[in-house]
A and B are shown apart, each in its own frame.
Chain A
Amino acid sequence: MKRAKSDRSWRSLVIAAPYLWLLLFFLVPFLIVLKISFAQSAIALPPYTPVFDFSAGWRGIENFFENLSVGSYRLLGSDPLYLLSYVKSLEIAAFSTLMLLAVGYPIAYGIARAPRRLQAVLVVLVVLPFWTSFLIRIYAWMNILQRDGPLNQLLMTLHIVRQPPVWLASDTAIYIGIVYSYLPFMVLPLYAVLEKLDQSLIEAAADLGCPRWKTFWLVTLPLSSPGLLAGVLLCFIPIVGEFVIPDLLGGSRTPMIGQTIWMEFFGNKDWPAASAVAVVLVCLLVTPIVIFQHQAMRKAERD
């Protein structure tokens, strides 16, 4: 009896510590973002009104709700900068995810078909760059893509180009940077499913006279769809909110949404606008996750 009681108090302690931490430092901050997105920008410290005034009691809370405004959201709708920024982020995320699939799938497939002993080494080799700093890897590309950097020197020596092309400050550079940084996130989930793929299914298809490309299209690809979906989500969602890559490699014409939040916050000091942009972004990103969850649950029901 006594033991059951101490058991229960252990249990609640184990749950409570991480639970409270996440409530306080993950959920509450997000609610604050939501709250500030309905506030008005002001030249003050902190730079927004209204602020909760608990000392004024009920009147203070009432006052707060009266002063809530949807001004920031209206700004989002009226200034085309924001819409363009969202569109550009989604566009870059969509295309670079497709590129990641095109680059990552053959690598994952190749590793999964390699001799067993080699597979572990190859997986480590793919993951290893992930351990070096993200910033350093982007910086490495700044080196390479410079006007008189190694890439242009190579192209000039091989006489492929006459004039050194400009790589930096362009969408091309953003795509290169994203594909490079996110490659492990695409390769690993794909490898995980391809490695478990039953080889006899492919042999059966070949025995029945199915050409190789058709076997791939009808057998391998559908069977690897869980890994494919995981890889796509793991890449697409963070890429939409990417800040460092477009900031260092991209041009300044149309910022991605992560840059817009950064600029609103650090540059314009418009905290309500930055918060509203963030809230809309979260809503955009939550949708694919909910769809994914829904499908996973439906699949679980079927099995």
Chain B
Amino acid sequence: MRRVTWFNLCAIVLGIAFLYLPIVILVIYSFNASRLVAVWGGWSTQWYAQLAGDTAIVGAALMSLRVAFVSASLATLLGTLAALALVRFGRFRGRLLFASMIYAPLVMPEVITGLSMLLLFVAISVDRGFWTVVIAHTTMAMCFVAVVVQARLADFDMSLEEAAMDLGAPPLRTFLTVTLPLILPAIVAAWMLAFALSLDDLVIASFTTGPGATTLPIRIYSEIRLGVKPEINAVCTIFIAVVGIAVLVASLLTKLTGARGTSARIEP
């Protein structure tokens, strides 16, 4: 029997309040008619209207979405392959180095990742821009993808694959018709994570970007270094709304597919 004590309840309520209150305040202030934070000038959507005309911000947002889409897709492909190699191939030459290169970027400070990427691009004299940011984000995100997909592969029922092979399906076909559909939820989740990581990143993008490839975080950062601005409150609110809806849709989707997955599995 689980008892909910006062202490536990307080910890949860205070914790959730601490996590959400700042975001709620930000959203409320984005509708403040007054430019000053101290003054509540009534509800207004003027900052949103101003935003629509701000081509620099809109352009940066589109750039961010493009970078995130391409790098998330590449990272999902490479990360899934890496997870397969780690889980399925047992010992191979250089496995330790491979595993270290997968785990190290997870905790590597972004400043160092960004710096080292930039120095590489300078060393091979590549012009920095869209593709250098994509490569940097792919490298960082693929490691997160590998970890997520690996977890799913680790508790995968191997007898399903063996059955397909025994019935004469070649490895590629087995993979496409048996393995892939079963690990697909993890791959989708990993893609979303990679997308969010790319969209979120300021430091690595700052190092690896070039002219004409300003992402939204870089743009926001350069605006807010000088202080709080109501237009930026509006940008952030839109961002939060989009992310909130995406996560909601995703969790509903996983609930649907997850329910199907568990019903197919035999309960122990």
State whether these chains interact: yes
A interface vs B, CB < 8 Å? 3, 6-7, 10-11, 14-15, 17-19, 21-23, 25-30, 32-33, 36, 46, 103, 106-107, 109-111, 113-116, 122, 124-126, 128-129, 131-137, 139-144, 146, 148-150, 153, 180, 183, 187, 199, 233-234, 237-238, 240-244, 247-248, 258, 261-262, 265, 271, 274-275, 278, 281-282, 285, 289
A141 touching B22, Cβ below 8 Å = yes
Q: In the complex, which residue of chain B has the Cβ closest to the Cβ of A141?
A: B22
Complex CA–CA separation, A208 to B222 (angstroms): 61
Which residues of the other chain, B, contact A10 by a CB distance below 8 angstroms? 171-172
Cβ of B171: which chain A residues have Cβ within 8 Å of it? 6-7, 10
A265 and B109 alpha carbons, distance in the complex (Å): 15
Contact of A25 with B117 in the complex, beta carbons under 8 Å:
yes
Q: Shortest CB–CB separation between residue B182 and chain A, in angstroms?
A: 17
A25-B139, A107-B15, A136-B236 provided; 4 other pairs, C-beta below 8 A? A19-B98, A23-B101, A126-B19, A133-B243
Residues of A contacting B5 in the complex (Cβ-Cβ under 8 angstroms): 113
B91-123 to A contact mask, C-beta < 8 Å, 1/0: 010100010011011011111100111011011
Partner of A114, one of B2, B98, B120: B2
Which residues of chain B have C-beta atoms less than 8 A from A32's C-beta?
Answer: 116, 119-120, 123
Residues of B contacting A271 in the complex (Cβ-Cβ under 8 angstroms): 119
CB pair A36–B11 under 8 Å, yes or no, is: no
Residues of A within 8 A of B108 (CB): 241, 282
In the complex where A22-B98, A26-B104 touch, is A149 in contact with B37 (Cβ < 8 A)? yes
User: Does B259 make an interface contact (CB < 8 A)?
Assistant: no
Residue of A nearest to B241 (CB): A132
**Given A106-B15, A115-B2, A180-B22, are A274 and B101 neighbors across the interface (CB < 8 Å)?**
no
Nearest opposing residue in chain A for B250, CB measure: A131
| A140 partner, pick from B23, B82, B111, beta carbons under 8 A | B23
- Provide the bound-state CA to CA distance between A106 and B113, in Å: 34
CB distance from A216 to the nearest CB of B (A): 11
